[in-house]
């Protein structure tokens, strides 16, 4: 498969790996979800193949951690899930950064069971090595996850633990955040007195330590609004309004809706409508459909109170249009996400099948080579055996055929010696008879080797001919 941008970048970083360079380059990468999804199979294969090289294991794990962190921050959660699964297989689920990002990933994928598992692992590991920052992060996410799952008792327990931990570490930002979340949970549970107490605790610590309290003030206003204490609610909303330059457009619009609701409850309908118009104008050129729908709902309530049914109907129609657009967009978004998930998982599955087929073919090829090696070895042994048998046959034949005439020669030679000894013979004849006797004895020794050889070795006789050497036990 052709490798494109992200794969090439990662491949280059792995060739001469530097953690500092990898962090720098990857942090500046512009992440495009669709391109990452197209390349995810190549990226996974690159990581796998480099990890299989013993010298590349450590660098691969570091690069996976860095790249995983980057695409998590970009919001490309579906390809991030594939990289997370590979990281777990390679043993990264014992690293703080990887555990933290895994918890964040599954929280955003609404897989709360896995979120809890990774946050608990992160908390345990951070506690073991004394990393307060990671502990606080893990406990906070455990609290958020329990709250989303409507397990308010567990959520309270986690945020109370975080508040105590932050107080001990003099981390007032985390302490304020934890107290504020405890208050919000009590609001969800309908326990207003506890909710107020914790909001004021958070506000006090924020003011004492110069921490931004604007969101706490807005929450207090909303809390008093829910308790029908509209004057108190309005006073908190106005305090936030004075500092609204610190808020985003969306937050300013929501503040306006809250103020409008307080004025409406106090029957200050003109003021309520005026503030609501400001919010509507803020939202006009934005995609904040839910907030636009809320503004329309409030306009309907105000116009009904003013008995202006025509205006109320017009805003009701707009509210319905926004509602349909929201649900239509949600439906398209869900369909698109499911389609993307299917395409990615299909690509991964196809790549895995291809990889397994290659492994299977490699194994078959290995076994085939083993069989060929056994065959060649057996064939060599058979040839050696056949050669030895041939030599044995020649040796037996030679021993039989030569031994008989040799015995005749030896017998006649002995008679010749006996005759010469009786009749006398000169030194020259004696020398010739001695030479013949030595040769006969040498032939007899060779034939003895033919009869009793233990093994045969070979020496080069000429360029294309070998000579057999018969080895006996006596040798």
- Res 102: pLDDT: 95
Q: Which residues of 64-94 are buried (b: 16+ CB within 10 A; e: fewer)?
A: bbbbbbbbbebebbbbbbbbbebbeeeebbe
Task: Report pLDDT digits (tens) over 368-408.
Answer: 788 788 888 888 888 877 777 777 777 777 777 777 787 88
- Res 380: pLDDT: 83
Strands, E assignment, 297-368:
none
**Percent over 70 (pLDDT), the chain:** 87
Instruction: Report residue 190 as tokens.
Output: 């309908």
Of 158, 154, 121, whose CA–CA distance to 136 is shortest? Answer: 158
Q: Strand, coil or helix: what is 466?
A: strand
Q: Strand, coil or helix: what is 459?
A: strand
- Res 443: pLDDT: 81
Q: What's the CA gap between 329 and 263, in Å, rounded?
A: 33
* Helix/strand/coil (H/E/C) assignment for every residue in 437-458: HHHHHHHHHHHHHHHHCCEEEE
- Res 347: pLDDT: 62
Where helices occur in 94-228 by DSSP H, the ranges are 96-108, 112-129, 132-148, 152-168, 172-189, 192-208, 214-226
* pLDDT < 50 positions in the chain: 1-3
State the pTM of this model: 0.66
Of 397, 400, 402, whose CA–CA distance to 443 is shortest? Answer: 402
Place of tokens 């949600």: 330
Please name the helix (run of DSSP H) or strand (run of DSSP E) that holds residue 430, with its range, or none: helix 427-452
- Res 157: pLDDT: 96
Is residue 240 within 8 A of residue 214, CB to CB? The reply is: yes
Q: Strand, coil or helix: what is 462?
A: strand
């Amino acid at each position: 498969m052709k490798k494109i941008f992200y794969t090439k970048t990662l491949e280059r970083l792995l060739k001469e790996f530097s953690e500092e360079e990898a962090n720098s380059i990857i942090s500046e990468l512009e992440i495009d979800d669709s391109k990452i999804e197209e390349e995810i199979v190549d990226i996974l294969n690159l990581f796998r193949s480099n990890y299989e090289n013993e010298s590349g294991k450590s660098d691969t794990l570091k690069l996976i951690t860095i790249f995983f962190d980057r695409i998590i921050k970009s919001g490309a959660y579906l390809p991030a899930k594939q990289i997370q699964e590979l990281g777990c297989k390679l043993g990264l689920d014992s690293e703080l950064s990887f555990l933290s990002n895994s918890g964040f990933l599954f929280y955003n994928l609404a897989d709360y069971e896995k979120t809890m598992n990774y946050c608990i692992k992160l908390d345990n590991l951070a506690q073991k090595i004394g990393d307060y920052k990671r502990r606080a992060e893990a406990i906070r996410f455990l609290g958020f996850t329990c709250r989303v799952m409507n397990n308010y008792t567990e959520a309270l327990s986690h945020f109370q633990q975080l508040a105590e931990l932050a107080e001990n570490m003099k981390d007032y930002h985390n302490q304020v955040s934890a107290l504020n979340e405890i208050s919000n949970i009590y609001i969800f549970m309908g326990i207003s007195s506890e909710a107020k107490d914790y909001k004021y605790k958070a506000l006090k610590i924020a003011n004492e330590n110069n921490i931004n309290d604007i969101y706490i003030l807005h929450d207090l206003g909303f809390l008093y609004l829910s308790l029908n204490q509209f004057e108190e609610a309005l006073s908190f909303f106005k305090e936030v309004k004075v500092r609204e330059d610190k808020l985003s457009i969306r937050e300013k619009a929501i503040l306006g809706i809250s103020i409008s609701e307080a004025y409406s409850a106090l029957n200050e309908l003109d003021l309520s409508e005026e503030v609501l118009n400001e919010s509507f104008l803020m939202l006009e050129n934005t995609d904040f459909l839910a907030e636009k729908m809320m503004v329309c709902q409030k306009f309907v309530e105000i116009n009904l109170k003013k008995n202006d049914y025509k205006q109320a109907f017009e805003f009701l129609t707009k509210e319905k249009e926004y509602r349909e657009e929201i649900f239509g967009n949600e439906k398209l978004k869900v369909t698109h996400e499911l389609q993307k998930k299917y395409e990615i998982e299909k690509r991964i599955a196809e790549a895995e099948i291809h990889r397994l087929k290659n492994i299977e073919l490699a194994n078959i090829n290995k076994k085939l080579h083993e069989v060929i090696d056994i065959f060649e070895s057996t064939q060599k042994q058979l040839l050696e055996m056949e050669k030895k048998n041939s030599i044995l046959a020649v040796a037996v034949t030679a021993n039989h055929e030569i031994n008989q005439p040799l015995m005749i020669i030896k017998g006649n030679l002995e008679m010749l010696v006996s005759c010469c000894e009786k009749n006398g013979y000169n030194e020259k004849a004696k020398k010739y008879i001695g030479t013949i006797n030595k040769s006969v004895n040498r032939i007899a020794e060779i034939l003895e080797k033919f009869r009793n050889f233990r093994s045969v070795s070979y020496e080069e006789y000429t360029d294309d001919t070998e000579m057999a050497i018969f080895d006996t036990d006596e040798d």
